[in-house]
Amino acid sequence: MSTDSTSDPRLDPHLQDVISGKSWADFCDALKDAGQKIVDHSTDDLDRIEGFRYLSRLTRGGLQAFIENGDRTFAQVLPIPFNLKIGCDNPDAYYQNVGVNPRHSYRVQGPRGTVNYLSVGAYSGGFAAGSATPGQQGVIEDNDPSADGYVDLIASVAEPERLEPGQRWLRMEPETTTIIIRNFYLDRTTERPSDLRIECLDPDRPNPGPLTAEALATGLAMAGFYVHGVTDMFIDWVEDIFLKRPNTLEFLPDGDAANGWGDPNQKFRHGYWSLEPGQAMVIDVPAIDAYYWNFQLNNLWEESLDYHHFQVTVNKHTASYEPDGSVKLIIADDDPGFGTWIDTAYHRHGTFGLRYNQVVEDIAPTITIVNAADLAP
């Protein structure tokens, strides 16, 4: 009789940790440690309140990614959990992530939808750790929001010998761990996102089989690492980069941008904003030739503010334009009655971002701090 640990559960090194409760206790300890990071890096009560909510959201994301959708042979294309917000998440985006194993080949296919911008990209490492520059792996963008569009991709390390008509190759690397699908809306009320599914073309077993102690123990550990890694990364961005140049929008260093799993078709200005009571910020965005652009306010933890109930974001479609094609963004507690108002949503500080997709020429915006009472058309 075989003594392989896959056939004899008594030899599974994770079994005792799981059935004794140690794996679960270790996961809970990881969350407790992450909570101390919120305490240590908060600057006011609202930061701390939102910070603990942030950890609850990250926990949902980690458990979905590494337990509920952790089998990379039989993975599914799923939306990230509701209100999971990471790293200046785009309010116009519908994000979907799926973990993959580069030893396998996959087919990703389905209706493209009518959303303004769609991209499917291969990424390496864990989010916030060990990531390669996105451009070193495959990213396929689709700017044709026609109603009858269809996506059909083969994702693999080796280039396929043959592709069916209409198929494209999504190049993976031996380090690829994740495929990310980005749908960017200009108008959520009228546009329809893609509806893609994934299939492993060379599975090593006929079905997922029963949940194993190894899968559960590894999934819990990875979910804990995920919460820690994401929290640490964006705390570092704020404290090591943004706070040194407050109220500016600049590009991230290349290495940091790669770890954020950005879209290589995108230029992204990022920073930290802070306003005293009675102050407002005026951002003059010059006329830009870009397929898509948006601006947004975030909290200290790099979560977009509540765009369902507050006017905290604007894009190419929703902005109010000046006669010369520029846009005057006004960040203030109250609507000044002109320009494009961005509501502070009860925040005094946080981070903010200005992203351009497929921009012809980047031109830096101009930022001015003024007294809100002095604002005039």
The closest alpha carbon to 52, from 65, 38, 67, 32, belongs to 38
Query: Is 377's pLDDT higher than 80?
Result: no
Query: Is 257's pLDDT higher than 90?
Result: no
Rg (Cα) of the chain, in Å, rounded?
Answer: 22
Tally of CB atoms within 10 A around 86:
23
Q: How many residues does the chain have?
A: 377
Greater confidence, 50 or 13? Answer: 50
* pLDDT tens digits, one per residue of 280-290: 999 999 999 99
Distance of alpha carbon 154 from alpha carbon 179, whole angstroms:
12
Distance separating the N- and C-terminal Cα atoms of the chain: 84
Distance of alpha carbon 289 from alpha carbon 267, whole angstroms:
13
Tally of CB atoms within 10 A around 255:
10
Q: Do 230 and 128 form a contact (C-beta atoms < 8 A)?
A: yes
CA distances from 115 to 184, 185, 207, 303 (A): 6, 5, 34, 23
Q: Do 154 and 167 form a contact (C-beta atoms < 8 A)?
A: yes
Distance of alpha carbon 235 from alpha carbon 128, whole angstroms:
11
Tell me the mean pLDDT in the region 64-91: 95
* pLDDT tens digits, one per residue of 269-278: 999 999 999 9
> Could you write out the three-class secondary structure of 137-160?
CCEEEECCCCCCCEEEEEEECCCC
The chain-wide mean pLDDT, for the chain, equals 91
Classified as helix, coil or strand, 285 is strand
Catalogue the E-assigned strands of the chain: 78-79, 93-99, 106-111, 117-124, 139-142, 150-156, 168-171, 176-184, 197-200, 250-251, 266-274, 279-285, 290-297, 313-315, 327-332, 340-343, 349-359, 366-371
Tell me the mean pLDDT in the region 13-42: 95
Token pair 């830096």: residue:
364
Strand 327-332 relative to strand 340-343: parallel, antiparallel, unpaired?
parallel
Band (pLDDT 50/70/90 cuts) for residue 14 is confident
pLDDT of residue 43: 92
Band (pLDDT 50/70/90 cuts) for residue 4 is very low
Tell me the mean pLDDT in the region 228-241: 94
| Residues carrying CATH 2.60.120.600, the chain | 232-374
Q: Which CATH superfamily is domain 232-374 in?
A: Domain of unknown function DUF1214, C-terminal domain (2.60.120.600)
Tell me the mean pLDDT in the region 301-319: 97
* pLDDT tens digits, one per residue of 101-145: 999 999 999 999 999 999 999 998 765 444 445 555 788 888 988
The closest alpha carbon to 294, from 182, 376, 374, belongs to 182
Greater confidence, 11 or 245? Answer: 245
pLDDT of residue 258: 52
- Alpha helices, DSSP H only, in the chain? 15-19, 22-41, 45-63, 213-236, 254-259
As given in the structure block, the two tokens for residue 377 are 């058309």
Lowest mean pLDDT of 36-40, 134-138, 360-364, name the range.
134-138
* pLDDT tens digits, one per residue of 175-215: 899 999 999 999 999 999 999 999 999 999 999 999 999 99
Tell me the mean pLDDT in the region 69-76: 95
Query: Is 97's pLDDT higher than 60?
Result: yes
pLDDT of residue 111: 96
Tell me the mean pLDDT in the region 148-158: 95
pTM of the predicted model, to two decimals?
0.91
Lowest mean pLDDT of 43-57, 71-85, 126-140, name the range.
126-140
